[in-house]
Amino acid sequence: MAHQYSVDVRNAQADAFETVTGTSAILKLRTGAPPANCATADSGTVVATLNLPADYLSNAANGTKSKSGTWEDPAADNPGTIGHFRIYKSDGVTCTMQGTVTQTGSGGDMTVDNPVAQTGQYIIINTFSFTRGNA
């Protein structure tokens, strides 16, 4: 049987992500598919780099956390089709989460207004959330 957790435990697990990552998290949007896991070296070209707000995620509810505040980059670093994201601690090196990126409505872990970017393009993160499982 798979483990099952109460809502309180799932909320605590989800809230721990923000505690571990810290208040000066960095989000990088990259081309291509995500690497095998966060311990694997970065892949793809960095299209955009965002310094996330100090309180970048909502408090967990029913095991789910969602983006809080404005997640935007006024000028993309490089051209390319955004395929995945990585969230890092403030050092910009220690990956704490990664996932897929698509245009809004296309089913990615994170959605953007336009995944095909040009250098200097304004990038807007429309949606992002994650849910702790094992309810």
Residue 1 reports pLDDT greater than 80? no
Is the entire prediction scored with pTM above 0.85?
A: yes
- Of 84, 65, 87, 69, nearest to 16 by C-alpha is 65
Q: How many domains does the chain have?
A: 1
Instruction: Examine residue 57 and state whether it is found in any structural domain, yes or no.
Output: yes
Cα dist. 88→15, 28, 62, 119, 128 in Å? 16, 8, 25, 22, 15
User: Where would I find the beta strands (DSSP E) of the chain?
Assistant: 26-31, 46-51, 64-66, 72-73, 80-88, 95-103, 110-112, 116-117, 123-131
Domain region containing 85 = 7-130
Q: In the prediction, which pLDDT does 135 show?
A: 79
78-114 pLDDT, tens digit per residue, is 999 999 999 999 999 999 999 999 998 888 999 999 9
- Is 28 among the domain residues? yes
Residue 67 lies in a domain: yes
Domain membership of residue 135 (yes or no) is no
Q: What is the pLDDT of residues 16-70, one digit of tens each?
A: 999 999 999 999 999 999 999 999 999 999 999 999 999 999 999 999 999 999 9
Tell me whether residue 2 is in a domain. no
pLDDT of residue 6: 95
